[in-house]
Copies of this chain bind each other. A is one copy, B any other.
Amino acid sequence: MKLVTAIIKPFTLDDVKSSLEQLGVLGMTVSEVQGYGRQKGHTEVYRGAEYSVDFVPKIKIEVVIDDNQVDKVLEAVVEAARTGKIGDGKVWVTSVDTVVRVRTGERGSDAL
């Protein structure tokens, strides 16, 4: 299994979530983070305001999936999160050894 971590613009969350649901992704974890990208000193727009400061509010999505879903999930996230402007986001993939569903104790793909 793999963990896909996506840092995206907050207003794209609903679209990213819908796209993942359409792929059959059954769970995800979301948190608020502050992002810092390559454009030091440049500006990004958030809720109509320009941010020239270093850090910009972003949303982090974490989703554990089966290996064979990685390509489709990356494609879906990138498509739903892209606006074409700087600061659109970064996604990374890491390997997961084990997953457990707490309620049932199930492990592996069955626990997703």
On A, residues with C-beta under 8 Å from B are 1-3, 6-8, 17, 21, 26-38, 40, 54-55, 58, 60, 64, 70, 74, 77-78, 81-103, 105, 111
Contacts and interface: CB of A to CB of B under 8 A. Distances in A.
Nearest to A54: B17
Nearest to A26: B38
Contacts of A91: 99-100, 102
Contacts of A99: 90-93
A29 B36 contact: yes
A27 B21 contact: no
A89 B94 CA distance: 20
Contact of A90 (B27, B30, B31, B32): B27
A78 to B, nearest CB: 5
A40 B55 contact: no
A29 B38 contact: no
Contact of A93 (B2, B34, B89, B96): B96
